[in-house]
Amino acid sequence: MSITLNSPLDMHLHLRDEEMLSVVGPLSSESFSGAIIMPNLVPPITTKEALISYKERILKACKGNTFTPYMTLFFKPTYSKEFLASIKDELTAIKLYPAGITTNSQGGVSGFDVDELRPTLDAMSELEIPLCIHGETNGFVMDREAEFVSIYEMLATNFPKLKIIMEHITTKESVEALDKFDNLYATITLHHLLITLDDVAGGMLQPHLFCKPIAKRPEDREALRKVALEGHPKVMFGSDSAPHPQHAKESCGCAAGVFTAPIALQVLTELFMEHSSIDKLQSFISSNARNIYSNIEIPTKTVILEEKNFEVPGKYADVVPMFSGETLKYSIIKIT
């Protein structure tokens, strides 16, 4: 039996830059039609010139594959409506990071005072530019996302015309928030559909499964699976595929991020097949994103998978993928 996926989209992707970009860029652009590209480079993407330059570097790295990088800015509370209007044709969303909470987020938001954030968020609301948020406080690591739900609710209430994407949600509290506000949406990663904290640190520490937000409890994973496998219209696939060189993962001070780009579609197909929900996979990896990001143009691409063993390479250059060296049940056999 073959599985056909039309124009798959990754609505949360890290491509890094320079040599790392040249390695990981083609691994997404080969099988995905497009992806929301994270702006947390060093320095972060905050200007029109930097955004356009980064997009050009991405397209060059993708070596002619049919692929659209949907570009984002690193949130600043002082963006003017005039500036955002001038860049809107190149911009898909703006990404907000709490300061210091994850990789390269030192310049993020230190407080969530509505009056301080209002200039940018009002402009985004008027211009219909979505806001993507890494939703964690700086509290106890297992509670950070659940604590942030009240901030999502504050923003959703104060800016009802603003589309707010809760990025890479990991908790049942975030899932419950989806249906409380019309303007709240979410991305869900592959790894958070599969693992809990026990897989990361329950036995020998697994550094290549360490990520932020950290994997949570079994009941949280089940809440994520339920909305993904049932085709909930407000959730979409965002890999948060986050490459780091092997030495940065297998070291003291392990870098946060799971690299899933090369195996995402194969593993998602297996997961949805196992749960008799393969008819919902197209919505999760494309249709819902089309509806949520209603203004994006999506290249046509067809990806065909079959139940055929795929041996995951141990490394891609110096980046170790999830399921490194293991055998997956499904393979991509054709891309057109």
Q: Select which of 143, 220, 240, 279 is catalytic.
A: 240
The two tokens of residue 194 are 């599969």
**Is residue 198 annotated as a catalytic residue, yes or no?**
no
Judging by beta carbons within 10 Å of its beta carbon (0-12, 13-18, 19+), is residue 42 exposed, middle or buried? exposed
- Whether cis (ω within 30° of 0) applies to the bond prior to 233 is no
Contacts of residue 204, defined as CB under 8 A and 6 or more positions apart, other chains included, come to none
**3-state helix/strand/coil string of 136-187:** CCCCCCCCHHHHHHHHHHHHHHHCCCCCEEECCCCCHHHHHHHCCCCCEEEE
What is the helix, strand, coil percentage profile of the chain, to 5? 40, 20, 45
Asked whether 312 and 327 are in contact (CB, 8 A), the reply is yes
Give CA–CA dist 327/330, Å, rounded.
9
The two tokens of residue 124 are 């985004």
Please say whether the dihedral angle defined by the alpha carbons of residues 98, 212, 15 and 177, taken in this order, is positive or negative: negative
Residues tagged active-site: 240
